[in-house]
Amino acid sequence: MHFTTLISTAELAREIHDPHLVVVDCRYDLGDADAGERAYRAGHLPRAQFMHIDRDLSGAKTGANGRHPLPEVSALVATLGRAGIDPSAQVVAYDQNNGMWASRLWWLLRWLGHEVVAVLDGGIDKWMRESRPVTRDPPSVRPATFVPRTPAAVASAAEILDNLGTHSLKVIDARAAERFRGDVEPIDPVAGHIPGALNRPYSANLSSEGTFKSAARLREEFSELLDGTAPASVVHQCGSGVTACHNVLAMAVADLPGSRLYPGSWSEWIAVPTRPVARGE
């Protein structure tokens, strides 16, 4: 097995008994933080274990670092080791359907140098529509030693602020268009977006069936958005650094690797009142 971006339900079904496979359920609901864990207990993919977006895949909030700050490396390494992820592991992350939560684990693993990780395209919803097996049984997990590499570079608020003058980076906001424009803001206390950012809602990466668009289609769409900007000069953000990972994944699917994440995203940006805010298109 060697899947590094997406894996289809059919491909996972064929490989479900591979001894190197680690399956992780990442279901989550912003409006009900315990909903994903309840859904996991009610039924999950064979061999799947659960990781919580808040407890396992985020760090401590300070009031100034956003709603889903990155976990401390040592804490994340311990979490991944308890899950049995060693250098030989093929990790598959899934969520309800569209990958918006599973892409966070995909990004975190790659952040620490583990490349062999993929998101289940279509999530558990597609898996169940196809009448594939689910279980309530807890998996048998053998803890392992996760060996991290030096964390990959991320963007900071200071760098984004500096970019307002240099325009050396292209910042892409993964939130819905109405939140980007500032028409509504159901989650954070300030509406709007980072000045100069472009809007690419993560949902634009999906087909009408709820699976990712083809690599060719994604490449065409992102190439048009980037307009000649190299992926290395692209920074992704969203509300809290989670759904932005979906755009990082989509660019990887499109064979446009090398873009970075601004982990704190909008919720960190607005924590300092002097940082500028734009509204409208």
Specify the number of domains making up the chain. Answer: 2
Residues 15 and 56 in one domain: yes
pLDDT at 1 over 90: no
Residues 70 and 166 occupy one common structural domain: no
Please write the tens of the pLDDT for every residue from 171-180: 999 999 999 9
Write the pLDDT tens digit of every residue in 115-164.
999 999 999 999 999 999 999 999 999 999 999 999 999 999 999 999 99
pLDDT tens for 48-63 read 999 999 999 999 999 9
Residues 36, 246: Cα–Cα separation, whole Å: 19
Mean pLDDT of 82-104: 98
Verify that 91 and 10 share a domain, yes or no: yes
Q: Rounded mean pLDDT of 59-70?
A: 97
Task: State the pLDDT at residue 75.
Answer: 98
Give pLDDT, residue 238.
98
pLDDT of the residue at 89: 98
Does 125 lie in the same domain as 13?
A: yes
CATH number for 103: 3.40.250.10
> Is residue 22 a contact partner of residue 50, using CB atoms and an 8 Å limit?
no
Pair 163, 124 in one domain: no
Answer yes or no: do 121 and 166 share one domain: no
Q: Is the pLDDT of residue 272 over 90?
A: yes
Assess if residue 62 is contained within a domain.
yes
Return the number of other C-beta atoms located less than 10 Å from residue 152's C-beta.
13
**Active-site annotation, residues:** 238
**Residue 240 sits in which domain range?**
157-269
Buried b / exposed e across 165-182, counting CB within 10 Å, b at 16+? eeeebbbbbbbbeebbbe
Cα 267 from Cα 187, distance rounded (Å): 9
Do 189 and 82 share a structural domain?
Answer: no
Q: Which two tokens stand for residue 251?
A: 């660019």
Alpha carbon distance 98, 253 (integer Å)? 15
- Domain assignment of residue 150, yes or no: no
pLDDT tens, position by position, 213-265: 999 999 999 999 999 999 999 999 999 999 999 999 999 999 999 999 999 99
Q: Is residue 140 part of a domain?
A: no
Answer whether 0.75 is exceeded by the pTM: yes
